Amino acid sequence: MISYNRVIDLTQPIVPEQGARPFAIERGRTEELTDHVPVDHDWYIMHRVETISHIGTHIEAPYHCIPDGRDLGSIPVEQFVGEAVVLDLSKLPQDSLVGAAEIAAVAEQAGGVNEGDIVFLRTGYVDLQDNPAFEHRPSPTAEAMKWLVERGVKLLGTDLSGLEGPLTPGHLDCHLVLLGADIPFIENLANLDQLSQPRVFVCALPIPVQGLDAFPLRVVAFE
C-alpha cells in the first residue's frame, strides 16, 4: 500500500486558443458530432478537438524519431508509473554543458539513480521563457543521456519544452539517444519546484493511442 499525504500536479494546464501551438475546441450538440439520436435536452454537448501531438505537458514515444520505434499505444503501462528521482540542474552555472560527469554529480546529490527509475531534470528556467536569461539554460548532451540509459532508467522528463539546450551540439542529440534506447520522455513538466524531496512516486499516464508519436498527459507525484 502506498501512503501519501500530498499529490503534486506536474502538468501544465492547456488553455484552448492560447499559446504558440494550436489547440482548438469546437462545441456542438452530440447529434451534430456523432450519430447520436437527438435527445430532448437543451444542453447535451460534445467537442471536436484539433491540436498537434506536441502540446502542453506531453510525452514522446520512440516512434517520434525512430521509424520502427514503439508508438504510444505500444508502451506498457508499467513504464509510466514508479519512483522518480529529480535531478536538480538549477544550481549549475549559466551556460552549462551537462555531460556524463555533470549528470553523475547531480544524481549523487539526489541519492543516486537506480535501475527502473523515472528521472526528472529540473532546470528551473521554465519561468524565464520570455527573458534573455533563458538563453543561458543548461544544455544536456548525448553523453549525459547515455549515462542515464546505462543506469537503466525507464522514463525521463524535463521542465523545458525540449531536452536539448542552446549549447547542445545537435538539435536531436538527446532525443536520439533516449528514443533509440526505447525510452520515452516528457517535456514541459510543471511544478517540479513544489516537490519537497528528490525521490517521489509518480504516475505519468498517456492515452494509449496506436500509431501516435506523442500526446499530452497528466503527470502527478505523491509525497
Binding site for Zn ion (CB under 5 A): 54, 187
Q: What cell was used for 155?
A: 522514463
Q: What does residue 63 show for φ and ψ, rounded to 5 degrees?
A: -60, -20
54/137 with CB nearer Zn ion: 54
Nearer to Zn ion, 80 or 110 (CB): 80
Q: Residue with CB nearest Zn ion?
A: 54
Minimum CB distance to Zn ion smaller for 54 or for 154: 54
Q: What is the DSSP string of 23-90?
A: EEEEEEEHHHHSSPPP-S-S--EEEEEEE-SS-SSEEE-GGGT-TTS--GGGS-GGGGEEEEEEEE-T
Compare residues 147 and 215 and give the one whose CB is closer to Zn ion: 215
Task: Pick the closer one to Zn ion by CB: 88 or 187.
Answer: 187
Cα separations in angstroms, 66 against 23, 71, 80, 213: 26, 10, 20, 10
**CA 63, chain centre distance (Å):** 15
**Rounded to the nearest whole angstrom, what is the least distance from the CB of residue 134 to Zn ion in the complex?**
17
3-class state of residue 192 by DSSP: helix
Q: What grid cell was written down for 92? A: 549549475
Residues 6 or more apart in contact with residue 70 via CB below 8 angstroms: 61, 62, 63, 182
In the bound complex, what is the minimum distance in angstroms from residue 92's beta carbon to Zn ion?
A: 23
Of the two residues 33 and 172, which places its CB atom closer to Zn ion in the complex? 172
Nearest residue to 166 (alpha-carbon basis) of 135, 142, 143, 144: 135
Q: How far is the CB of 143 from Zn ion (least distance, A)?
A: 22
Query: Residue 41 Cβ, how far from Zn ion at the closest point, in Å?
Result: 40
